[in-house]
A and B are shown apart, each in its own frame.
Chain A
Amino acid sequence: MQQALHLSPLAVAVTAVLVGSLAATSAFGDQEQGKQPRTDKRGQYVSGDFHNHTTCSDGSISMQRVIKKATDTSDTPWGLDWFVQAGHGGSGNRNCTLVEDATLSTPAYPFVEGKSPTTTWAASIGAAAVKGNASNGTPLSNQTSPSMWRWQSIQEFQYPLSEYLSGQRNVPVFMGMESVVAGHEHASMTVVSGQVVLDKAPSNTAPGFTPAGNATALAQWSYCFDRNDADNSRGGGQNWDCSVPGSANATDPSWNATAAKLVIASGTGAGLRGHAKTVEGVKWMSALHGQASYYVPAHLERAGPFNPNGNNGFNIEHLRNLNNAAPNIVFGFETQPGHGASENRGEYYQNRNSIGGTLVDSVGGTTWGGTGIYGAKVGGVWDALLGEGRGFWFFASSDWHNRGSFGPDDRRSTQDFYPGEYQRNYVMVKAPKGKGQYQSLGQLKPQEIVDSLRTGDNWVSSGQLVDRLAFVACARGDDSEADDLREAVVAAAANNVAVDVEGARCATMGQKLLVRSGQSVIVAIAVRDPQGASYAPYTFNNPSLAQVGIIQPLNRPVLDHVDVIRGLVSGYKTPGAADYAGTWPDNWIEDEDMARVPAAAKNTSATVIKTFADGQWKVERISGIRSMVFTVPAVNRSQYLRLRGTNLPAGVPYETDANGEPMADVYTNAGTPSQLKIKCEVEPTVSIASGATYTGAAIDGCPAHLARYPAVTGPKLVSYDVAAWSDLWFYSNPVFIEVKGDTLVAGVH
C-alpha cells in the first residue's frame, strides 16, 4: 500500500554517493562464469495458516465457517491458498462439524434445525458413539455427556469434513493439531500420511460422506503423545502401540502397558519427563512419517521459560534437542503468535506465569512488534540457532478462536484475526518439471505444503505490508550480474514465480550458497508493497505514525524500509556443553541488556548490515515493486542473511527505537491500561450502534472499543486491533552462505 514517492534532494544525493562509491570500490572475488538465474515458472508462493480453532476445541465457530472465512475471496476477501485446521489436542465435548445456519449447509453436511456447532457430541451423535476411556479407565460411552478424545474427533469427524470441504472449495484443506505439549505449552503439528485433498467437488446429494483418505496417523500421534490425552484404550480398539522404533520405551518408568504409551506423572521432574516424551513424539514422526510431518512450537515465549517441574515454555536447549532428534520434523517455530488483536498482543504479558510460586513474565515480557522475543531480537535465540547452521524457520499463525467483544462477522476485533486476515505464511511450491505452474490450488496436496514448509523457502507478513518477495544470493561473476539479478527478482516478485537458482550458483531462502573464501556475493531482493487498501476496516490515519508527522491511512500501509540482517555461522553446539542450554532472563522489558542473555541463547555476530528505504531501493515501474541489489565483498566466513521490513521508521515513540528495532508492545497492550501511551484522537463521523455487527471497511475514526486511561473518561489509546494494524512487519527466512574451509552449514542442504 503506497503513496506517491517523494525523495528529498538530500536523500537522492546521499544515495548517489553510497551506491556510486559502492560500485566503484567493490572488489570482485575469484570469478566463475555461471548460469544466470531467471525465473522458474513452476514455482509460486502460496499463503496459508496452520493454527486455528473451532468449537471442537475452544474456538467459537464451526469447521465450515472458519474454513469459509479463511479461504473465501468474496465475503471475506483475504482468501488463503491453503489451510490446516488445528485445534487443541486432548478432548472436547462440542461437535464442530455441525453448521450455524443454512448458509453453510452442504449436501453432505446440511444445516440441522436446532443444532449448532456448540451442540454436544451426546446431543448429536449420542454418547454411546464416543470411544475410548476416561482418565479413570471407564468407558466414555457410560457418561451422559462425554467429551470426545481429539483422536476420534479427527479420525472420524473432522478429517472427513476437511477432505469434503477441500473438494467443495478447491483449496487444499487438511487436518493438523495444536498439541498440548508434554513438558511445555503448545506446538502446531500434523502427520499428513493418508490425508487427501480433493481437486473437485464431491458428488454427494444426501447427508453423509465417505472420505477417500484418512487421518489415522495424526489421530494415533494425538493419542500417543499429546499431554492432554489421558485415554488408555489404544484408540478404542485399534490396538495402537506408541513405542518408537529404536527407543526402549517399554523400560521407561513412565511406560503404561495398558495404554501402550508413556504417561507422565505430575509433580517434581514432570517438565523434564514431559520433554523427554515430546522428544520421543518427534522421533516417532521421524521414524514412521519422516517426510509427512511437521512439529513447530507455538507461541513458545508465552508460557515463560522452561519449568522442569511443570509445563511452561521452551528454552533454546529444548529447540535444539527437538531439532537434533528430528531435523526434518522440527524445522521452525511460531515465534510470531496469533491473538494479534488481544488486549495483550499474542496473549503475552508480564507476570503471566507462576513457576514454583514465583510470577514470571512471558519470555520477553510481551511481543515486540507482534513477534516474540526469540524471533524479534536481533542476535537472540533465532540468530543463535541460525548461527549454528540449523535449518530453523520463522512462522506465524492466527490462533483464531473468537472476535472478543464482537460477533464472528464483525470486522473489528478485541481478540483474534481470522486466518489470513492479518498474518500469512507464504511458502514456495513448485509443480513437477514439465507441467508448468499449478493451474488451481486444488492440485496442491498436503505433502507438498509440508515439504514447502520444510524447505525454508518461505516468509511471513502481517497486515498485507508486502505480498511478494524474491530474495537470492549469488556467487559473483561480473558487473552485468547485478542488472541480471535485479531483473530476475523483479520478474519473480511481479509474477509470483520462483527465481531459478538451480545450477546458477545462487541460493534463496532456506538454501545455502557454496563459495570459496574471498569470493564476493551479490544479493538481490524484490518486494511488492501491494496497491490499494489492506483488510483493515479503518480508514483514519495511523496514530503511531502521526506522532512523527507521517499521515498515512491505517488501511493503506506503506513499506518504510527493509533491513538486511547478517549473522556468522559457527557450528552446532554440543549437548551438555556450557553454551548449549540457557534461559532467557526474566524482566526483559525492564532491563534489555544482552549481557544478561546466556551464551547459549545469543549470536553476538548478528547485526543489521543494510537498511533500504526511499532513496536506496529502486522503485520499479511495476506497481509496488521495490528492488535492492548489493554486494557482500570478500566473504571469508560462513554466514547467513535474512530480511525484515516494517511500515514504521526508526524512532517512532513507543513503537520503534532509535535503531529501528521493534519496542515492547507493552505500550499498546490494553491489559495494562496505565502503560498505554499513543493517543487515538480522530473522532468517527458515523458511530456504530452498540451491539451492531460492522461488516464494512470504512471506519473513519478511532473506534469506541479502544481502551481509555483513565477508564471511561480518559482519551482513546491505541490498543487491540488498531494497535496491530498500526504496527506491521515482515520477516524472511535466511539464505546461508557456506565458505569452503570454514564452518559447515550442516543443517541446510
Chain B
Amino acid sequence: MPAARSSWIREPLFHFLLVGALLFALDTLLITRKDDPKRIIVSVAVDEEARQAFTAARGRAPNAAELKALRQVYLDNEVLYREGIAMGLDKGDTAIRERVIFKALAMVEAGIKPPVQDEATLQKWFEKNRSRYENPMRLTFDEAVFAGQSSEQAVQSFVKALNQGVEPDLQAGLRVFRDRPLDSVVQSYGPAFASALTALPPDVWHAVKDNQGWRAVRLGTVSPAIPADFAKLRNVVQQDWTDAMLAEQRSAEVRALAAKYRIELPK
C-alpha cells in the first residue's frame, strides 16, 4: 500500500466521515423507510380489529370482499388522518389539545409516587379543610307566594291574613323548602334574608325582605350545623388527603417542566 494512501486512511477525519456515512445508510435503511410519510402499512392488527367490529355488528365474520371493503375504510381514514395532520388541522382544535394534555398528564402521573401517610399530618390537614366535612346548617321553611307587586305593605297584609287563616285574594300558592343548606339560601335570597329567616320564631308567617322584594315566609325548623368528626371520617379524609397530595406533586412536576419554556404574559 502506498504511503500517501495509507496515511489518509489513518486520518481521524476519514474515520469520522466513514462512520457518519454508515450511520446515515443504516438510518435510511432501518428508520427512514419505516417512517416514510408516503407509506401506509395495513397490519394484521388492523384486519383483526375490523373483523371484531364487523362480527359484533353483524353476528358473523366478514367474507373476503367485506374485509377488503373494511380495509379500504381503514386506508381512507389513514389517508385523511395523514393529510389532515399535514395540513395542520390538529392545530387549534380544543378536543385534540385536551386529549394530548390528558396523555401527557398520564405520563407525568406515571412517575409520581403515592404519599406516605402520617396520622398527625392527616389530622392537621383535616382541621385545615374542616368546612368540607361539616354538615351545614339546614333550614326548613315555607313561602306563601304573593302574586303581583310585592310591596312591604301588601306582603304585610298578606301575612296578617295568613296568620288569621284567611286568604285575602287569589294568591299564588305555597313553596315548601325542606332542609335547604344555608349556603344555598344565601346564594338565592341573599345573606340578609337568610339571617332574618334563621332568627324568626317558628310556625308564624312573617314578611321578610330579600334581594328582590318582600316575601311571606314561615320558618319550620333549623337544623344546626353538625361538626365533622375526624374519627368517623378518617378513611374519607385519608383518600381526600392522598388525592390532594398527588395533585400537588403533579402540579409541581408540570411546573418543573415549564422551567424550560420562556413564558410571555400579556402586557
Interface string of B166-198 (1 = CB under 8 A from A): 110011111111111100110111000000000
Partner of A607, one of B140, B148, B179, B180: B148
Q: Determine if A549 is an interface residue (Cβ-Cβ < 8 Å).
A: yes
Q: Determine if A21 is an interface residue (Cβ-Cβ < 8 Å).
A: yes
Q: Determine if B14 is an interface residue (Cβ-Cβ < 8 Å).
A: no
Partner of A651, one of B58, B174, B184, B218: B184
Q: Determine if B47 is an interface residue (Cβ-Cβ < 8 Å).
A: no
Q: Determine if A248 is an interface residue (Cβ-Cβ < 8 Å).
A: no
| A10-B142, A615-B174, A711-B98 as given contacts; A21 in contact with B188, CB under 8 Å | no
Stretch at the interface among A12-20, A45-53, A218-226, A460-468: A12-20
User: Would B142 and A14 count as touching, CB distance under 8 A?
Assistant: yes
Q: How far is the CB of B50 from chain A (nearest CB, A)?
A: 14
User: Would A609 and B144 count as touching, CB distance under 8 A?
Assistant: no
Q: Determine if A614 is an interface residue (Cβ-Cβ < 8 Å).
A: yes
Q: Determine if A613 is an interface residue (Cβ-Cβ < 8 Å).
A: yes
Q: Kindly identify, within residues 185 to 233 of chain B, every residue whose CB is under 8 Å from any CB belonging to chain A.
A: 185, 187-189, 203, 210-212, 218, 220
User: Would A650 and B188 count as touching, CB distance under 8 A?
Assistant: yes
Q: Kindly identify, within residues 152 to 180 of chain A, every residue whose CB is under 8 Å from any CB belonging to chain B.
A: none
Residues from chain B with a CB closer than 8 A to the CB of A548 are 180-181, 184
The distance in angstroms between the C-alpha atoms of A102 and B98, with both chains bound, is: 37
Count residues on chain A whose CB falls below 8 Å from chain B CBs: 46
User: Would B212 and A11 count as touching, CB distance under 8 A?
Assistant: no
Residues from chain B with a CB closer than 8 A to the CB of A653 are 184, 187-188
Q: Kindly identify, within residues 592 to 627 of chain A, every residue whose CB is under 8 Å from any CB belonging to chain B.
A: 607-616
Residues from chain B with a CB closer than 8 A to the CB of A711 are 98, 101
Stretch at the interface among A315-323, A429-437, A441-449, A657-665: A657-665
Q: Kindly identify, within residues 47 to 76 of chain B, every residue whose CB is under 8 Å from any CB belonging to chain A.
A: 57-58, 65-66, 69
User: Would A17 and B167 count as touching, CB distance under 8 A?
Assistant: yes
User: Would A649 and B177 count as touching, CB distance under 8 A?
Assistant: yes
Partner of A658, one of B66, B162, B212: B212
Residues from chain B with a CB closer than 8 A to the CB of A356 are none
Residue of B whose beta carbon sits closest to that of A659: B212
Q: Determine if A25 is an interface residue (Cβ-Cβ < 8 Å).
A: yes
Residues from chain B with a CB closer than 8 A to the CB of A17 are 162, 165, 167
The distance in angstroms between the C-alpha atoms of A650 and B217, with both chains bound, is: 14
Q: How far is the CB of B80 from chain A (nearest CB, A)?
A: 13
Q: How far is the CB of B13 from chain A (nearest CB, A)?
A: 51
Q: Kindly identify, within residues 96 to 110 of chain B, every residue whose CB is under 8 Å from any CB belonging to chain A.
A: 98, 101-102, 105
Partner of B174, one of A18, A652, A712: A18
Q: Kindly identify, within residues 657 to 707 of chain A, every residue whose CB is under 8 Å from any CB belonging to chain B.
A: 657-660
Residues from chain A with a CB closer than 8 A to the CB of B167 are 17-18, 21-22, 25
The distance in angstroms between the C-alpha atoms of A658 and B250, with both chains bound, is: 41
Residues from chain B with a CB closer than 8 A to the CB of A612 are 173
Q: Which of A14, A547, A608, A614 has the most CB of B within 10 A?
A: A14
The distance in angstroms between the C-alpha atoms of A723 and B248, with both chains bound, is: 30
User: Would A11 and B174 count as touching, CB distance under 8 A?
Assistant: yes
User: Would A15 and B177 count as touching, CB distance under 8 A?
Assistant: no
User: Would B170 and A658 count as touching, CB distance under 8 A?
Assistant: no
Residues from chain A with a CB closer than 8 A to the CB of B66 are 113
Q: Determine if A573 is an interface residue (Cβ-Cβ < 8 Å).
A: no
- Can you identify 25 A-B contacts, CB atoms within 8 angstroms? A8-B176, A10-B176, A11-B142, A11-B174, A14-B142, A14-B144, A14-B174, A15-B174, A18-B167, A18-B173, A21-B166, A22-B167, A25-B167, A548-B184, A608-B145, A608-B147, A608-B172, A610-B147, A610-B171, A611-B145, A651-B177, A651-B185, A651-B188, A657-B188, A713-B250
Chain B residues proximal to chain A, CB less than 8 Å:
57-58, 65-66, 69, 95, 98, 101-102, 105, 138, 140, 142-145, 147-148, 162, 165-167, 170-181, 184-185, 187-189, 203, 210-212, 218, 220, 247, 250
4 additional A-B residue pairs with CB within 8 Å, beyond A610-B171, A712-B98: A10-B142, A549-B138, A549-B178, A616-B173
> What 10 A-B pairs have minimum CB-CB distances, sorted nearest first?
A651-B188, A611-B173, A21-B167, A658-B188, A609-B147, A11-B176, A548-B184, A712-B101, A653-B187, A610-B173
